[in-house]
Amino acid sequence: MNIRTKSCCCSANKQKSIYDFEVMAMGGKSVSLADYKGKVLLIVNTASKCGFTPQYADLEAINKRFADKGLAILDFPCNQFGNQSPESDAETVQFCQLNYGTTFPQFKKLEVNGENEAPLYTWLKGQKGFAGFDKDHTLTPILEKMLAEADPDYASKADIKWNFTKFLVDREGNVVARFEPTAPMESVASAIEGLL
């Protein structure tokens, strides 16, 4: 299992806007996040074989509820946590569409921590660090134990801890919230609604 704990918050990253970043579409085409100016964004790192994978159904429900009001969900598959997204990009899209009927954009698989992390994620983590898991979630004790064994100082680092971490960005491009995978999806939906 690969849970790197390197944290990078360079001063240059703090000066960037989210709209300065480019990401790769599934087909390999570069996409500028400036294309999403004026929208509320929910940026999430996902995996197809995770205990949190059923959140795809919640994400699609949120997408259907709010897309026409100005929400864009940006899905970035990532295989850094327990090798839980091992398939190809095309297989990931097929899996999500067949099992969860997803219609929001899925991008090329990327890394969210470590030496090869995507610059977008370096910036996002610099905007909103880790603030703990939801204490009422059944998987919280398991995640906390596993992460503490890998790095006793994990809670003080901004790194992404697991699949389905979500960053909420307002219409002006400000990161206003970070939701760990244990956060109730109703809380995520409510926060989105508050920005729309």
The residues assigned a catalytic role are: 50
Report how far residue 127's alpha carbon sits from residue 138's, in angstroms, rounded to the nearest whole number. Answer: 28
Residue 25 is given by DSSP the state B
DSSP 56: H
Ordered DSSP codes for 62-81: HHHHHGGGTEEEEEEE---S
User: Angle 175-179-180 (CA atoms, 0-180°, nearest 5)?
Assistant: 135
What does the block give as tokens for 19?
């709209």
Distance CA 164, CA 55 (A): 8
Are the CB atoms for 169 and 176 separated by under 8 Å? Answer: yes
Question: Nearest 10 degrees: CA dihedral of 172, 93, 126, 10?
Answer: -110
As given in the structure block, the two tokens for residue 65 are 């509820």
DSSP label at 106? B
